[in-house]
Amino acid sequence: MGEGNETQLNEFILLGFSDVREIQLVLFAIFLVIYILTFTQHAAIIIVIRLDYHLHTPMYFYLNNLSFLEITYVTVTVPKMLSSLLTRSKTISIPACFSQLYLFFVLGTTECYLLTTMAYDRYLAICSPLQYNGIMNRQACIKFAGGCWVAGIFSPLIPTIFIFQLPFCGSNIINHFFCDSPPLLRLSCQNINTIEVINFILGSFILIISFPLTMVSYINIVSTILKIPSADGRKKAFSTCASHLIIVSIFYGTTIFTYVRPRTINALNFNKSVSLVYSVITPMVNPVIYTLRNNDIKQALKKAVSFK
């Protein structure tokens, strides 16, 4: 930033996707439908799992947590984006911006750990079925899920505090549709190299913990499945974890690309598009992947619909 302009900012402007009114209205309609679909699908999964006692198992307990997490995930960013598209008011206060930044990273980090826990649950169910019920009892499930949420809450705390203490002056335009750290850091009038390194180390640390453990679980799962003599047995075993593996691949692929790079601020427009995939599109698609490949959920949904 220029040294002559040291006026402290009190709000930011989220640039979003377009300034053309017609395009804004089209995007508003599209994102509104996506948000309603996402909310409805995940809410239906939560209700069905709670009502059907056949689904009161560790796998669906974690799926319940994931659905609640993804409802919250899209609610942190999409309503503000919809409001900006409809009213053309793109401003966001600094406290609201940092609250959005922190909550977004809390939920993203929690999802990393939760996906790892779900992979471990599938590993135990397929590779150690005799020990599964003893290890994944109700108390253990609550502790695992609680640990994911606690770790998600505290992991992004330090970098968020560092970013919050930065001086922002000059331009207040964030080239994004929500308050994300790479475009936000670009607006600081202070050297951000240290914070970039902290973000990179933290992101790498979270992924180094969660991603390899998830992959090790699935390597063992695939190895065990391939040893099953019958084709029907292999198909049934693989169907219980295939949907989770698809979601893991999409989530980690986009997250690693966006955040685990020392210089993410050099490709903000492309990062914005990638962020749209994992923060808006993926939460909408995930329930479809689960229900299409999960006979238990499909049967429970049919039962609920026929009952009504």
CATH of the domain at 56: 1.20.1070.10
**Interatomic CA distance for residues 178 and 249, integer angstroms:** 24
Token pair recorded at residue 80: 């503000």
**Interatomic CA distance for residues 158 and 155, integer angstroms:** 7
Judged on CB neighbours under 10 Å (0-12, 13-18, 19+), 224 is: middle
Do residues 17 and 27 lie in contact, with contact meaning Cβ atoms separated by under 8 Å?
yes
- Is residue 4 assigned to a domain? no
- Residue 203: C-alpha distances to residues 199, 244, 258, 262 (Å): 6, 22, 10, 10
Print the domain residue range for 203. Answer: 11-300
- Is residue 75 assigned to a domain? yes
Q: Token match 């900012």: residue?
A: 9
- Is residue 6 assigned to a domain? no
Q: What is the pTM assigned to this prediction? A: 0.85
pLDDT one digit per residue (tens) for the chain, 308 residues: 444 445 567 789 998 887 888 999 999 999 999 999 999 999 989 998 888 888 888 989 999 999 999 999 999 999 999 999 998 888 999 889 999 999 999 998 999 999 999 999 989 988 888 889 889 999 999 999 999 999 999 988 888 888 888 888 778 888 888 998 888 888 888 888 888 888 888 877 888 888 888 889 888 888 888 887 777 777 776 776 777 777 887 777 777 766 665 554 455 566 777 788 888 888 898 888 777 667 777 777 777 666 55
Q: Token match 């609640």: residue?
A: 68
Token pair recorded at residue 48: 């069905």
Alpha-carbon Rg of the chain, whole angstroms?
21
- Is residue 97 assigned to a domain? yes
- Is residue 305 assigned to a domain? no
> Who's near 124: CB < 8 A, 6+ residues apart?
131, 132, 135, 136
HSE-up (13 A, CA, CB side) for residue 90: 19
- Is residue 172 assigned to a domain? yes
The pLDDT of residue 142 is 95
HSE-up (13 A, CA, CB side) for residue 100: 24
Domain tally, the chain: 1
- Residue 112: C-alpha distances to residues 94, 177, 247 (Å): 27, 22, 11
**Interatomic CA distance for residues 189 and 171, integer angstroms:** 10
Q: Which residues pair with 11 in a beta bridge?
A: 93
Q: Which residues pair with 168 in a beta bridge?
A: 188
The pLDDT of residue 4 is 43
Neighbours of 127 (CB within 10 A): 15
- Is residue 34 assigned to a domain? yes
Which of 195, 268, 267 minimizes the C-alpha distance to 15? 268
The pLDDT of residue 258 is 65
The pLDDT of residue 191 is 80
Token pair recorded at residue 71: 């409802």
Altogether, the residues listed in the chain come to a count of: 308
Token pair recorded at residue 17: 């996707």
Q: Where are the beta strands (DSSP E) in the chain?
A: 11-14, 91-93, 173-174
The pLDDT of residue 120 is 92
Q: Token match 């799926």: residue?
A: 63
**Phi and psi at residue 214, to the nearest 5°:** -65, -45
**Interatomic CA distance for residues 43 and 37, integer angstroms:** 10
- Is residue 307 assigned to a domain? no
